[in-house]
Amino acid sequence: MQKTKKAYFCRNCGYESPKWLGKCPACNEWNTFVEEIVGKATETVVGTSKQSKPVKIGDINLQEYRRIMLADNEMNRLLGGGLVAGSITLIGGEPGIGKSTLSLQIALQQKNLKTLYVSGEESANQIKLRAERLGKTSENCYVLAETLLENIFIQAKEIDPDFIVIDSIQTIYTDKMDSSPGSVSQIRECAAMLMRYAKESNTPVFVIGHITKDGSIAGPKVLEHIVDAVLQFEGDNNYIYRLLRSMKNRFGSTDEIGIFEMTGTGLREVSNPSEVLITRHDEALSGSSVAAMIDGARSFLIEIQALVSTAAYGTPQRSATGFDVRRLNMLLAVLEKRAGFRLAVKDVFLNIAGGIKVVDPAIDLAVISSILSSTADIPVPQDWCFAGEVGLSGEIRPVNRIAARVSEAEKLGFQRIFISKYNRQTPELDKFKIKIEYVSKISDLSRKLFDRNSSQ
């Protein structure tokens, strides 16, 4: 009798080893090895058809590189101008964020395209219920509840759809491998088989992948290497806004982000994010200010709220949602050391509107303004906004694409924007009607924020 062959795989990068290892020699991650059965091992050929022959680059006919325009403009833009025939796109995200909703919505929206939605997680009935919830139906959308990849291919060949959705890669399996669905070797093999299928039949495939807590696609990183494009769903399940970010794209730019709102009837594209991410209060509130931020290729305004209060315990609390706590601690240290604010004995809470995570350092200036405003309990006028990075010596540093930020603020009717003095050289800034305040240090900023109040 044949003995079952076992091997150890790194969950992070897919590295294979005959024995267990504490640290992966390929990606240097610790504790990522899992044991798997690798019976009936096949060669994993990643890429296109095995029979292809070398051709001269000059002889390649570009006509074959076809793009399918989807009914959803936001998706077309994210994919770099339409879905490329024969491409494979991974949609990643945490459970419950809306991956199935989005992909079913895409499949249903296409009026002129035949689509095949394969689910390994839900029955045809459940999918129908979801479609009813979305209020959509389509003559051309086929649904298949199946987990064996070979069967999926048989059905796909029969239907010959314009594109396929596989929900999700962790639930499907191939009988070429003995290991269970969701294991590293299954995911790797299935992804490679899907890739071959996509290239050979020229059918684009969307693959859904769950993401682990640490942010990587559950299963091996090789999945990200195999596919042509990775779209990552981000956002907090408790909020309605979702960001779909292009992390990798062989056919377009990775600067693109799409913003969606989860409604009772599916995901809706948010065409003007600034309008939903800032709340217009009846009266100005202290601790709240607006930052002009950039994410990917888009600029928008976002509201930042801070609450500074006397610490109830010996060690003050610092907490932030949507912002890096370490960066908040750094900004507080700068305020203490460079501008003389006694914040060491204060609790500081920071919150970014809409559950959106911001990494753009240009929001520093708005974070500092919110903290100063809450400390002094003096509101920042609602039609002022900020864009600048704060350095360790308390200087306000220039930020990129300043004209785009100022333009967005002007478009939304803001009267005044605070930016770094070192952005002054930008020639495009002269054309704006909005009042631009140049600041070089934190002390400058606090004077401009508070002298106004004392003189009123």
The least distance separating Mg ion from the CB of residue 99, rounded to whole angstroms, comes to 5
What distance in Å separates the CA atoms of residue 183 and residue 223, rounded to the nearest whole number? 12
Query: Does residue 179 interact with Mg ion by CB under 5 A?
Result: no
The strand pairing partners of 260, in sequence order, are 242, 269
- Ramachandran quadrant class, 175 (left: phi over 0; alpha: psi -120 to 50; beta: rest): alpha
- In 3D space, the residue among 280, 256, 259 whose CA is nearest the CA of residue 268 turns out to be 259
Render the burial of 392-415: b for 16+ CB within 10 Å, e for the rest: eebbbbbbeebebbbbbbbebebe
- Select from Mg ion, ligand TYD, none the partner in contact with residue 319, using the beta carbon and a kind-dependent cut-off of 5 to 8 Å: none
Binding segment for Mg ion among 99-107, 185-193, 287-295, 421-429 (CB under 5 A)?
99-107
Query: Does residue 93 interact with ligand TYD by CB under 6 A?
Result: yes
- In 3D space, the residue among 184, 250, 248 whose CA is nearest the CA of residue 222 turns out to be 184
Can you list the positions of beta strands (E) in 297-390? Answer: 298-310, 318-321, 346-352, 384-387, 389-390
Binding residues for ligand TYD, rule CB under 6 A, total 15
Query: Does residue 265 interact with ligand TYD by CB under 6 A?
Result: yes
At position 27, the amino acid (one-letter code) is C
89 versus 370: smaller Cβ distance to Mg ion: 89
- Among 80, 181, 235, 266, which residue interacts with ligand TYD (rule: CB under 6 A)? 266
Query: Does residue 387 interact with ligand TYD by CB under 6 A?
Result: no
Binding segment for ligand TYD among 21-29, 61-69, 183-191, 262-270 (CB under 6 A)?
262-270
What distance in Å separates the CA atoms of residue 247 and residue 204, rounded to the nearest whole number? 18
Query: Does residue 420 interact with Mg ion by CB under 5 A?
Result: no
257 versus 306: smaller Cβ distance to ligand TYD: 257
- Select from ligand TYD, Mg ion, none the partner in contact with residue 317, using the beta carbon and a kind-dependent cut-off of 5 to 8 Å: none
The least distance separating Mg ion from the CB of residue 383, rounded to whole angstroms, comes to 42
What distance in Å separates the CA atoms of residue 416 and residue 402, rounded to the nearest whole number? 14
Structure tokens at 420: 């770094």
Count Cβ atoms below 10 Å from residue 24 Cβ, excluding itself.
Answer: 21
- Select from ligand TYD, Mg ion, none the partner in contact with residue 402, using the beta carbon and a kind-dependent cut-off of 5 to 8 Å: none
Of 191-230, binders to ligand TYD (CB under 6 A) are: none
Render the burial of 84-116: b for 16+ CB within 10 Å, e for the rest: bbbbbbbbbbbeebbbbbbbbbbbbbbeebbbb
- Could you tell me the sign of the dihedral formed by the alpha carbons of 376, 381, 382, 387, in that order? negative
Query: Does residue 109 interact with Mg ion by CB under 5 A?
Result: no
130 versus 199: smaller Cβ distance to ligand TYD: 130
What distance in Å separates the CA atoms of residue 93 and residue 343, rounded to the nearest whole number? 37
100 versus 203: smaller Cβ distance to Mg ion: 100
Query: Does residue 286 interact with Mg ion by CB under 5 A?
Result: no
Query: Does residue 181 interact with ligand TYD by CB under 6 A?
Result: no
List Cα–Cα distances, 366 to 99, 251, 356, 424, in angstroms.
33, 36, 15, 19
Of 315-374, binders to Mg ion (CB under 5 A) are: none
- Among 40, 128, 133, 250, which residue interacts with ligand TYD (rule: CB under 6 A)? 133
141 versus 262: smaller Cβ distance to ligand TYD: 262
- Among 32, 89, 100, 370, which residue interacts with Mg ion (rule: CB under 5 A)? 100
The crossing angle, in degrees rounded to 10, of helices 149-159 and 184-201 is 20
At position 166, the amino acid (one-letter code) is I
- Among 262, 335, 371, 449, which residue interacts with ligand TYD (rule: CB under 6 A)? 262
- Select from Mg ion, ligand TYD, none the partner in contact with residue 96, using the beta carbon and a kind-dependent cut-off of 5 to 8 Å: ligand TYD
- Among 24, 88, 97, 207, which residue interacts with ligand TYD (rule: CB under 6 A)? 97
- Select from Mg ion, ligand TYD, none the partner in contact with residue 135, using the beta carbon and a kind-dependent cut-off of 5 to 8 Å: none
What distance in Å separates the CA atoms of residue 308 and residue 287, rounded to the nearest whole number? 8
- Select from ligand TYD, Mg ion, none the partner in contact with residue 98, using the beta carbon and a kind-dependent cut-off of 5 to 8 Å: ligand TYD
Query: Does residue 264 interact with ligand TYD by CB under 6 A?
Result: yes
The least distance separating ligand TYD from the CB of residue 229, rounded to whole angstroms, comes to 18
At position 191, the amino acid (one-letter code) is A
Per-residue x/- track, 99-118, ligand TYD (CB under 6 A): xxx-----------------
Contacts to ligand TYD by CB under 6 A:
93, 95-101, 130, 133-134, 262, 264-266
> Which spans of this chain sit near Mg ion (rule: CB under 5 A)?
100
